[in-house]
Amino acid sequence: MSDSDLKNIALLIDADNTTPKGIDPVLTVMAELGQVNIKRAYGNFAKNNLSKWGEITHKYGIQPQQQFDLTAGKNATDMAMTIDAIDLLYQGKVDGFGIMSSDSDFTPLVTRLRQDGLVVYGFGSTKKTPAAFKSACTRFIDIDALIKGASDEVEAPKAPAAAAKTGIDEELVELLGTAWKAAKRDDQGFASLSEVGNIAGNRSSFDVRNYGFKRLSDLFESLDQFQVERRDNNLLYVKRLR
């Protein structure tokens, strides 16, 4: 891909509701979409609890957007982020967004951006982020899982794919099973793995990284309910067994 083909991506960070520990793995994920040329962090950096953001802004080329707490109980950060996102949308120079926050207040913003056909990746804590915000995003990725995954790669040898299971439940299995049913299947019941993944992604903000995997094939191979098969064309196919 040439420089002229790379898409222009904006990463907007709600520093009040996320952790600076996640910035490195988040930027790695955002590279899937294109060049992250716009990186802005919003918050009242005069507060002690946001001091670590000040330490990394220069390292990662992040522009701090200072927002003073003018009124108790009111969050100027949310408003500033929303205004900037809509400005970028109407300038027409941004092809996708990353929103780092666990705040449900950004749900209408994400919905609006997606209505214009833009890809929006959300990054937040699964435990703290409401379902509405997760569902609104093209992909919602658990920032805690990203941080843990990056740490595990540095500290330990790569574990077998089956050992990476985390948070897998019946709801996920049914989502994947429904996607498999909706995909085109051959006489043996196998469907293209990529097609199944696309259907699952269109139906939810599903992302394999939330479950400790890097690849969709690793996730399916860890599930007893599915069989994965690699064929002569080197493409992967999947079949539900039960």
Q: What is the pLDDT of residue 70?
A: 63
For helices 23-30 and 51-60, give the axis angle rounded to 10 degrees.
40
- pLDDT cut 90: percent of the chain above it: 45
Asked if pLDDT for residue 160 goes beyond 50, the answer is: no
Asked if pLDDT for residue 174 goes beyond 70, the answer is: yes
Superfamily covering domain 3-154: 5'-nuclease (3.40.50.1010)
For helices 23-30 and 143-155, give the axis angle rounded to 10 degrees.
100
Tell me the average pLDDT of the chain: 85
Over residues 135-157, the mean pLDDT reads: 79
- pLDDT cut 70: percent of the chain above it: 87
Asked if pLDDT for residue 25 goes beyond 70, the answer is: yes
Residues 6+ apart with CB under 8 A from 145: 126, 166, 209, 210, 211, 212
Boundaries of every domain in the chain? 3-154, 159-240
Nearest CA to 193 out of 149, 234, 242 is that of 234
Between these two residues, 93 and 158, which has the higher pLDDT value? 93
How many Cα atoms are found within 13 Å in the side-chain-facing hemisphere of 62? 26
- List the beta strands (DSSP E) in the chain: 8-14, 35-43, 63-66, 96-100, 119-124, 139-142, 191-192, 226-230, 236-240
Residues 6+ apart with CB under 8 A from 214: 149, 208
As a CATH number, domain 159-240 is: 3.30.420.610
Q: Contact at 8 Å (CB) between 202 and 175?
A: no
Asked if pLDDT for residue 99 goes beyond 90, the answer is: yes
Asked if pLDDT for residue 155 goes beyond 70, the answer is: no
Over residues 111-128, the mean pLDDT reads: 94
What is the band of 71 on the pLDDT scale with cuts at 50, 70, 90? low
Between these two residues, 75 and 79, which has the higher pLDDT value? 79
The Cα–Cα gap between 34 and 17 comes to 25
Q: What is the pLDDT of residue 165?
A: 55
Over residues 155-159, the mean pLDDT reads: 50
Between these two residues, 24 and 169, which has the higher pLDDT value? 24
Q: What is the pLDDT of residue 166?
A: 57
Q: What is the pLDDT of residue 68?
A: 82
